[in-house]
Each structure stands twice: as structure tokens, then as C-alpha cells.
């Protein structure tokens, strides 16, 4: 599972209330941490931050800001792909 898929999975499980960049970064870090490999947390945080910023620019984007600084959620109101993700990830949980 790529970082992108992990981020979308986390946003799907959070729902409408949103989640902070730091919390998403910690989740992604923990999902990739193993006995033999320790990823660099700062690199993951930077990747998560850039991914969320890049994918929340337009009103029709997959991800939207909650209005609270640094908090994001899936844009289920203006994006059909986000609604589909809620169905796909929701059924696999």
C-alpha cells in the first residue's frame, strides 16, 4: 500500500470531522514501521503535508480543508471520487 492509499484510508476512517496533518503523519509512519525498517518521520510528514495541500486546492478536489488550520477531510459534497472511496474503504473495514 502506498502512502497515497494509506492517507486516503485514514481520511476515510475519520469521516467529516477531519484530522490534522500531524495525526495523519503519525498513522502513516506507524503503518510503515516494522522490526527491520524504521522510516524517517520528517520525510513522511513532509510528504503527507504536500499531498494534502496539493489535493485540496480546488473546490472539486478529492480532499478539502475543514476550515481549521491543518485539518483535512475527504470532500464528499463536491467530489464523486471521494464518495466512492467512502464506499470502497468503508466496506473493507
Partnered with residue 72 across adjacent β-strands are: 19, 65
CA distance 73 to 65: 6
For the chain, what is the domain count?
1
- Residue 93's pLDDT band, with cuts at 50, 70 and 90, is very low
Note the pLDDT of residue 57: 87
User: Model confidence over 11-31: pLDDT tens digits?
Assistant: 988 878 899 999 999 999 999
What is the average per-residue pLDDT within 52-68? 88
What is the average per-residue pLDDT within 56-68? 86
**Count of residues in the chain:** 93
Averaged confidence pLDDT in the chain? 87
On whether the CB atoms of residues 5 and 86 are closer than 8 A, the answer is: no
pLDDT cut 90: percent of the chain above it = 48
DSSP secondary structure letter of residue 36: S
What is the average per-residue pLDDT within 56-79? 85
Note the pLDDT of residue 46: 97
CATH code of 20's domain: 1.10.10
Q: Is the dihedral of CA 66, 93, 40, 52 positive or negative?
A: negative
Amino acid at each position: 500500500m502506498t502512502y497515497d492509499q494509506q492517507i486516503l484510508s485514514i481520511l476515510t476512517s475519520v469521516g467529516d470531522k477531519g484530522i490534522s496533518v500531524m495525526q495523519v503523519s503519525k498513522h502513516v509512519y506507524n503503518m510503515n514501521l516494522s522490526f527491520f525498517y524504521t522510516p524517517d518521520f520528517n520525510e513522511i510528514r513532509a510528504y503527507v503535508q504536500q499531498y494534502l495541500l496539493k489535493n485540496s486546492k480546488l473546490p472539486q478536489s478529492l480532499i478539502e480543508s475543514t476550515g481549521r488550520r491543518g485539518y483535512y477531510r475527504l470532500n464528499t459534497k463536491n467530489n464523486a471520487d471521494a464518495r466512492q472511496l467512502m464506499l470502497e474503504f468503508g466496506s473493507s473495514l
